Structure 1
Amino acid sequence: MQMKFIKKLPIPMEIKEQFPVSEKVKQIRETRLKEMEDIFTGKDDRLLLIIGPCSADNEESVMDYTYRLADMQDKVKDRIMIVPRIYTNKPRTTGEGYKGMVHQPDPEKKPDMLEGIISIRKLHTRAVEETEMICADEMLYPENHKYLSDILGYVAVGARSVENQQHRLTASGVGIPVGMKNPTSGDLTVMMNSITAAQSQHTFLYRGWEVQSEGNPFAHAILRGLVNRHGQNRQNYHYEDLIRLYELYQERDLANPSVVVDCNHSNSCKQYLEQIRISKEVLHSCRHSAEVKSLVKGLMIESYIEDGNQKIGEGIYGKSITDPCLGWEKTERLIYDLADQL
């Protein structure tokens, strides 16, 4: 093989034994998971707001940001359930660039996967224990999910992974809500097939074991926009898109028909300020149609302390080193505006 084997990493059980979660974290997670599940089943009519940096790059600035979200959560808790995005696995279109804390706990140093696994477990644990919110991450590597499986409250399967069999089968057995994004091509059939697979029972190979999953009734759609054959970004958050998705759900026997609208990426044409307008348009569509309102369970927004983004090494505290994000002042105003519209 044309690979250099660097070191054997501890299995998830060993990491969990070395860095266990407290009873407080277990209880918070159980309580918040029930709240989130009630949103997806329709028992709770609050809006799910999955919000945070494009990629978690620094423990202290991410925790600073998450504390701010916790303060906002207390103010809008009757209308919005906030789920911090702490994305520690960053997909790269060409494979180049910062791949997230799991690869590089310090973006300015060389990759260290063991230190990365420990760092992301500590960060996610801190977030739950200190803010009493459960957090979201991207399931970029299905085999790595077990390192955080007792902490996470939500995972997303990205546009480049959603057609992958291992992602679909793993999603069927994680026991928490999983958002399946539409692929970059925009083919909603691919996304719907992925949701169907994730909601079904399977026997498959996982981390060297033969395993059986129960099926995940909280697997759902994420609309994130698309890129057409000419390489141009196109949106799929409009009223007509949401109605079409509602109709696709009606054609299938799926539990808890739901969508979370990703307001950035191709939906915003990577113009991060557009997230403000897009999120409000989605809520307007919900007010216009009972079908759309029953389908839309949440929004996904990329936000950090400072507006925009920076290159690695510039050293601006709380500013994204990957995709540009809304800064805190705009984020705070947006959360209040969304709550007022609900």
Structure 2
Amino acid sequence: MTSLDILGAPSLDAQRTAGISPLISPALLRSELPADDTVATTVTRGRSEVVDVLDGRDDRLVVVVGPCSIHDADAALDYAHRLAAHAQALHEDLVVVMRAYFEKPRTTVGWKGLINDPDLDGTFKVNKGLRIARSLLLDICALGLPVGCEFLDPITPQYIADVVSWGSIGARTAASQVHRQLCSALSMPIGIKNSTDGDVQIAVDGARASAGSHVFMGINPDGLASLITTTGNPDCHVILRGGSGGPNYSATDVAAALGTLAGAGLPERVIVDASHGNSGKDHRRQPVVAGDLARRIAAGESGVVGVMLESFLEAGRQEIGPDMVRGRSVTDACMDWSTTAGVLDDLAAAVRARR
């Protein structure tokens, strides 16, 4: 892009814009990669089951589990096959949703996720990334396994939200009006995380704001600038993920969060993220956090309706490079599959004990 606008006059707003490239429209991508009846059934069932748990009509536990971020679609699908089989075996006790995150918020700089940079080399082939992401979501849903995504860029949902059963808003964007408006428009339940410093009130405010109707600017399925009017999303809920001040998954912390929700006139329900601040970003502590939650659930605790886990084929994390280990995270460290299977079994057993 030059410093001239389309009329040939000197531009006043392109001093720092190096280029503008065409982006595929959401409608075209959905037409290229449509959701068939099997996928639609998985998406609808996943949304309904999560909402039933949130609203207390279902005594199972929601478990959102999978890689911190997906960088290798083949490895992610391998993981999905394993998770789908295990989820089916535990279906009486757990509503399992595979974490399939394609966008990564960065505190400063770094790899922004598969949609933004699918080749992991700074070439930012976003059209390619969108196609890979949607194709993978369709493949996972075809296994009968619902998927969950974090929504970071407000335009991205137009490309993939129709095949997502559960969504989340991260700690860095929980206070964003743009994201609260987005939540009010989305057709699935959305978890909103407490802020990075551990402030739960921000997440509660986010859930309350997202339940209301909004009018805001966005794009339509054809990619055209549009005015969007929403009815509000009553299925938003708080995710406790700890913060810079320490973890917040204890019984005392959960009770305080439920009290804050009650004071705001919102349903008393939380999902606990066993990673991030609650594990001190140490993947080896996730089973400890999940184990504590399992003991409390088995003893009758009901305010915790779900657990989030970061898990991949191989344990730990690695730097992006030529000799990467297949199935190991390139962002936050994850539990390996065998550890994850054990944690899921323990959570299912806790639900049975409570029942």
Q: 1:99 to 1:250 in 2, by over 3 A?
A: same
Q: Specify the SS of the correspondent of 2:95.
A: strand
One-letter code aligned to 1:139: F
1:284 Cα deviation from its structure 2 partner: 2.7
Q: Identify the match of residue 115 of structure 2 among 91, 94, 102.
A: 102
For residues 61-140 of structure 1, the aligned pairs below 5 Å read 61-94=75-108, 96-108=109-121, 110-129=123-142, 131-140=143-152
1:287 Cα deviation from its structure 2 partner: 4.4
Match in the other structure for 1:212: 229
For residues 150-299 of structure 1, the aligned pairs below 5 Å read 150-207=162-219, 208-228=225-245, 234-254=246-266, 256-288=267-299, 292-293=301-302, 295-299=303-307
Check conservation: 2:298, 2:350, Cα contact below 8 A. no
Structure 1 runs (4+) deviating above 6 angstroms are none
1:33 Cα deviation from its structure 2 partner: 1.6
Q: Which has the larger radius of gyration?
A: 2
In 2, the alpha carbon distance for the partners of 1:157 and 1:192 equals 12
TM-score (norm 2): 0.90
Match in the other structure for 1:327: 336
In 1, the alpha carbon distance for the partners of 2:289 and 2:50 equals 23
In 2, the alpha carbon distance for the partners of 1:113 and 1:19 equals 16
Q: Identify the match of residue 47 of structure 2 among 33, 37, 61.
A: 33
1:282 Cα deviation from its structure 2 partner: 1.9
Q: How many percent of aligned residue pairs carry the same amino acid?
A: 30
Listed as ranges, the gaps of 5+ residues in structure 2 are 1-13, 220-224
Match in the other structure for 2:7: none
Listed as ranges, the gaps of 5+ residues in structure 1 are 229-233
Check conservation: 1:225, 1:236, Cα contact below 8 A. yes
Check conservation: 2:150, 2:169, Cα contact below 8 A. yes
Check conservation: 1:58, 1:106, Cα contact below 8 A. no
State which drifts further: 2-11 or 160-169.
Answer: 2-11
Q: Specify the SS of the correspondent of 2:163.
A: coil
Q: Deviations over 1:261-280 (max 9, x none)?
A: 01111111111111101012
Does 2:4 correspond to 1:4?
Answer: no
Q: Deviations over 1:112-166 (max 9, x none)?
A: 111111111111111101x111101110112211101210111110000011111
TM-score (norm 1): 0.93
Check conservation: 2:259, 2:268, Cα contact below 8 A. no
Q: Specify the SS of the correspondent of 2:343.
A: helix
In 2, the alpha carbon distance for the partners of 1:287 and 1:201 equals 38
1:98 Cα deviation from its structure 2 partner: 1.6
Q: Specify the SS of the correspondent of 1:205.
A: strand
